[in-house]
Each structure stands twice: as structure tokens, then as C-alpha cells.
């Protein structure tokens, strides 16, 4: 969907622009995925697994622009992409039409400045306006900062996925399934 731009400020007083991702953001978003997957163990892939071509990413982004119930929201500071937050359907089935999936990530250097909270509040507002009744997400059980933010925004834990991810070193991480009712 087309969205924004909205201009806001983070906790440090920096001007943050929120807008929908454009197809032209493809290369920057691929680089972002490579960097953020190396910065944190909480994302679903390893850096070397980011193998999208710019054309594939541009096609994906264009499909989000054309969909009236999905959004790839990007945040920028001084024109630099610093993070994104997605709103996606759970599926194209009527029985799932009340549910949406939310995901977010920021470059590590921008975490803790309130940008994630602003992005999530924005995407949840959009989800509600799109007619979704509940927003869902998965979060690694040891990601305490993210869990605290999700709970502050009204998400509750509804289940645990044991051994949800297996890391290169052979260790595992559990994940929580969290959900927020949007009509509360």
C-alpha cells in the first residue's frame, strides 16, 4: 500500500521519516538484511542466506505497494534507511482474513531510541484501519528488549515454539508466539 511520508522525532531529537518502501529501495533493503542478520541472533536467517537479487526484492516491494492490506514501512534518518516494519496477511483465506503478521528490525545503532515503538504503533494503526482484528508475531524467547516493547504495546504471549531456530554452532532458540487484539 502507499503510505506516508510521516515525519516524527526519536528520543534523541532526530527527524525520522516513515514511508512505504518503494521498488527503488531494493538494493538498500538487501544490504540492510545482510547487516542486520549479522548484528543479531534474533532474525530468521544467516547473513549468507540473503541471496535475493535486486530484481527479486524490487518485485517483492512492488507487490506490497499494490496490495491494499500489506505494507513494508521503512524508516529513514537524513535519507539513510535505518529499519523497516512489515504488515502482512496471514494468508489469502477468508478464515484468516482477520489476522495479520507483524515483523520489525532496525540497524543495531538505532535501537533504543524509540524508533521501533513509533514504527510498531504506526503499523498497528494501519492494520486496524485495514480491518484486521489481531496482529501476530514471533519473537525469540531471549530477546528481552523486544518482548518488553511488544508487551508495552499490548501483545501477549500465547505459545512457545521449542527449538524454533537452530544456529550454525548447533545451539537452539525457542520463540514465543505473541498476539494483540486490535479492537480492544
Averaged pLDDT, 133-150: 97
Query: What is the helix (H) or strand (E) element at residue 132, kind and residue range?
Result: none
What is the share, in percent, of the chain residues with pLDDT greater than 70?
100
pLDDT grade for 37, boundaries at 50, 70 and 90: very high
pLDDT digits (tens, 9 = 90+) for 13-33: 999 999 999 999 999 999 999
This prediction's pTM: 0.94
Q: What is the grid cell recorded at 158? A: 500465547
The Cα 1–Cα 85 span in angstroms is 13
Report residue 134 as a C-alpha cell: 489481531
Helix ranges (DSSP H) in the chain: 26-39, 54-66, 115-129, 144-152
Q: With 0-12 CB in 10 A as exposed, 13-18 as middle and 19+ as buried, what is 160? A: exposed
Among 104, 83, 84, 100, which residue's Cα sits nearest to residue 92? Answer: 100
Average pLDDT over residues 135-159: 97
Amino acid at each position: 500500500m502507499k503510505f506516508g511520508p510521516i515525519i516524527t522525532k526519536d528520543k534523541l531529537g532526530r527527524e525520522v521519516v516513515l514511508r512505504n518502501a518503494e521498488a527503488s529501495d531494493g538494493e538498500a533493503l538487501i544490504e540492510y538484511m545482510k547487516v542486520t542478520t549479522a548484528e543479531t541472533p534474533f532474525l530468521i536467517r544467516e547473513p549468507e542466506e540473503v541471496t535475493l537479487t535486486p530484481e527479486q526484492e524490487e518485485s517483492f516491494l512492488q507487490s506490497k505497494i499494490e496490495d491494499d492490506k500489506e505494507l513494508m514501512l521503512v524508516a529513514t534518518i537524513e535519507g539513510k534507511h535505518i529499519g523497516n516494519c512489515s504488515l502482512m496477511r496471514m494468508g489469502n483465506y477468508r478464515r484468516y482474513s482477520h489476522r495479520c503478521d507483524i515483523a520489525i528490525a532496525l540497524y543495531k545503532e538505532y535501537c533504543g531510541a524509540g524508533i521501533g515503538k513509533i514504527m510498531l504503533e504506526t503499523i498497528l494503526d494501519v492494520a486496524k484501519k485495514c480491518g484486521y482484528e489481531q496482529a501476530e508475531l514471533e519473537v525469540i524467547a531471549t530477546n528481552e528488549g523486544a518482548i518488553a516493547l511488544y508487551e508495552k504495546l499490548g501483545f501477549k504471549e500465547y505459545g512457545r515454539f521449542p527449538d524454533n531456530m537452530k544456529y550454525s554452532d548447533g545451539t537452539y532458540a525457542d520463540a514465543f508466539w505473541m498476539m494483540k487484539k486490535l479492537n480492544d
